[in-house]
């Protein structure tokens, strides 16, 4: 894969780029570029053979001006302190762009979950939940799923927290299974907002999504669902990939059948006898819409020079480096930024938390309707900022909108030394 940029430096550059369009004083910009609090800790847990293992874990609370810290927990060998700091910042700006009343947070454990059994992962997750307990809470910091975590891990964290606190507090975490207080539509929400944001972008550019060609890099929860919903909107998904490689289907493929194949075999490769392609080849295909849905730094400045897509909708967090942004703006490639395109996940997390607090649960159609309203209104807000401030791209416009909201909240709270 392409770049090795430090994601935290990328975040800081994105904030600086937007702050240049606002009159934010230097002390405010410093606050906007650094987390308020960071937990870095050891987790020691028992392996199935009775031995003990210790791994590193993190939780970054970036900004709480607009509400409780909010953001997922990922299990991945690439997790570092700086990655978690960056991801927590992206959450703060994401929540502000879609105007859900949260700050930003993120956590992670530096492991490959494929190396562990389910019972080992349960002990590890409960060890993390125990470390997190003083920091989290329904009104304090609310974790959620991220890369390689899902309902199972969220249910364990909820149970650990509630047991230690001797209470019921389902809103302490989102992305739970339905029977544990989860919301209809939450699993699909990230992919759904990617498809909605792409639809809005194509409308704005006077282009037709029906018949448009789409390539999707990364076929986890976000990528596979975005692909399926884009196909439902009439687009032709002509290439998909995951960490082990990709397939190219010039006449389009059935995204749900590819997902079933991946569930059976562990990979998209080998589905339907289509030609194999590398991730790099997929990212430089001549398509109407490219959806990077894997990890940070998928496209750096060098690779961006070879990108031939017209529109990019970021399903992953941070898939483009700031150098890539510059190259793509120069080439008039429109990038719908992560902090809008993938914000459906945290938006439906917010709906889940509201339902948990009210003990009153919504239908799936209500969830999807409210989500559509949030994403389309947020897209309009970004386009307004793009036109009013003449920002170089939609990402900087999104940060302008978000920073404005965070700074307003901080100003209204005042300073209390």
Single out the segment in contact with ligand GLU by CB under 6 A; choices: 40-48, 64-72, 75-83, 263-271: 64-72
Single out the segment in contact with ligand GLU by CB under 6 A; choices: 153-161, 201-209, 345-353, 360-368: 345-353
Distance of closest approach, residue 303 Cβ to ligand GLU, in angstroms:
23
Q: Which helix (H) or strand (E) holds 351?
A: helix 344-358
Report 362-381 residues binding ligand GLU (CB under 6 A): none
Nearer to ligand GLU, 148 or 396 (CB): 148
Binding of ligand GLU by 407 (CB under 6 A): no
Figure out which of the listed residues 14, 174, 221, 393 binds ligand GLU, where binding follows CB under 6 A.
174
* Cβ proximity of 86 and 10 under 8 Å: yes
Given 85, 106, 158, 176, which residue is catalytic? 106
Binding of ligand GLU by 61 (CB under 6 A): no
Reference 229, options 296, 320, 313, 333; nearest CA is 313
Neighbours of 357 (CB within 10 A): 13
Binding of ligand GLU by 349 (CB under 6 A): yes
Binding of ligand GLU by 314 (CB under 6 A): no
* Cβ proximity of 1 and 312 under 8 Å: no
Single out the segment in contact with ligand GLU by CB under 6 A; choices: 22-30, 265-273, 340-348, 404-412: 340-348
Token pair listed for 285:
């295909």
Nearer to ligand GLU, 277 or 401 (CB): 401
Figure out which of the listed residues 35, 72, 182, 218 binds ligand GLU, where binding follows CB under 6 A.
72
Question: Any idea of the CA torsion for 187, 370, 141, 147, to the nearest 10 degrees?
Answer: 30
Token pair listed for 253:
């493929």
Separation CA 298–CA 2 (nearest Å): 6
* Cβ proximity of 33 and 11 under 8 Å: yes
40 DSSP β-pair partners: 58
Separation CA 188–CA 356 (nearest Å): 19
Nearer to ligand GLU, 284 or 317 (CB): 317
Binding of ligand GLU by 71 (CB under 6 A): yes
Binding of ligand GLU by 146 (CB under 6 A): yes
Nearer to ligand GLU, 72 or 337 (CB): 72
Distance of closest approach, residue 26 Cβ to ligand GLU, in angstroms:
29
Establish whether 106 is a catalytic residue.
Answer: yes
Distance of closest approach, residue 46 Cβ to ligand GLU, in angstroms:
28
Distance of closest approach, residue 73 Cβ to ligand GLU, in angstroms:
8
* Cβ proximity of 194 and 219 under 8 Å: no
Binding of ligand GLU by 317 (CB under 6 A): yes
Figure out which of the listed residues 342, 355, 356, 391 binds ligand GLU, where binding follows CB under 6 A.
342
Distance of closest approach, residue 176 Cβ to ligand GLU, in angstroms:
11
Nearer to ligand GLU, 226 or 329 (CB): 226
Q: Which helix (H) or strand (E) holds 120?
A: helix 118-132
Token pair listed for 333:
């490639």
Nearer to ligand GLU, 69 or 271 (CB): 69
Binding of ligand GLU by 70 (CB under 6 A): yes
Token pair listed for 376:
């389309």
Separation CA 65–CA 63 (nearest Å): 6
* Cβ proximity of 155 and 176 under 8 Å: yes
- Strands across the sheet with 52-63, in order? 37-46, 52-63, 104-109, 69-75, 141-145
Residues designated as active site: 106
Q: Which residues bind ligand GLU (CB under 6 A)?
A: 70-72, 144-146, 174, 317, 342, 345-346, 349
């Amino acid at each position: 894969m392409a770049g090795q940029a430090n994601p935290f430096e990328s975040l800081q550059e994105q904030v600086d780029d937007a702050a240049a369009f606002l009159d934010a004083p230097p002390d405010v910009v410093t606050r906007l570029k650094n987390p308020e609090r960071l937990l870095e800790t050891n987790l020691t847990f028992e392996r199935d053979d009775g031995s003990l293992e210790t791994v590193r874990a993190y939780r970054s609370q970036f900004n709480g001006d607009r509400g409780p810290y909010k953001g997922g927990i990922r299990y991945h060998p690439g997790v570092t302190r700086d990655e978690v700091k960056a991801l927590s910042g992206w959450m703060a700006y994401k929540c502000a762009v879609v105007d859900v009343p949260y700050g930003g947070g993120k956590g992670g454990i530096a492991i490959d979950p494929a190396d562990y059994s389910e019972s080992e992962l349960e002990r590890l997750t409960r060890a993390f939940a125990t470390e997190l307990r003083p920091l989290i809470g329904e009104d304090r910091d609310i974790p959620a799923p991220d890369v390689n975590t899902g309902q199972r891990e969220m249910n364990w964290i909820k149970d650990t927290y509630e047991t230690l606190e001797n209470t019921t507090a389902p809103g302490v975490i989102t992305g739970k299974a339905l029977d544990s207080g989860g919301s209809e539509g939450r699993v699909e929400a990230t992919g759904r907002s990617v498809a909605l944001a792409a639809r809005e972008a194509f409308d704005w550019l006077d282009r037709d999504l029906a018949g448009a060609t789409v390539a999707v890099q990364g076929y986890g929860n976000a990528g596979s669902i975005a692909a399926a919903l884009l196909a439902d909107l009439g687009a032709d998904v002509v290439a998909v990939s995951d960490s082990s490689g990709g397939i190219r289907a010039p006449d389009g493929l059935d995204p749900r059948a590819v997902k079933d194949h991946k569930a059976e075999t562990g990979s998209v490769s080998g589905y339907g006898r289509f030609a194999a392609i590398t991730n790099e080849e997929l990212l430089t295909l001549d398509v109407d819409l490219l959806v990077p849905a894997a990890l940070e730094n998928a496209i750096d400045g060098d690779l961006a020079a070879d990108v031939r897509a017209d529109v990019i909708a970021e399903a992953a967090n941070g898939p483009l480096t700031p150098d890539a942004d510059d190259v793509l703006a120069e080439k008039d490639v429109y990038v719908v930024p992560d902090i809008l395109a993938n914000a459906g996940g945290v938006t439906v997390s917010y709906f889940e938390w509201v339902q948990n607090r009210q003990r009153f649960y919504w239908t799936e159609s209500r969830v999807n309707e409210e989500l559509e309203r949030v994403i389309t209104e947020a897209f309009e807000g970004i386009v307004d900022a793009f036109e009013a401030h003449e920002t170089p791209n939609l990402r900087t416009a999104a940060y302008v909108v978000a920073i404005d909201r965070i700074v307003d909240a901080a100003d209204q709270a005042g300073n209390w030394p």
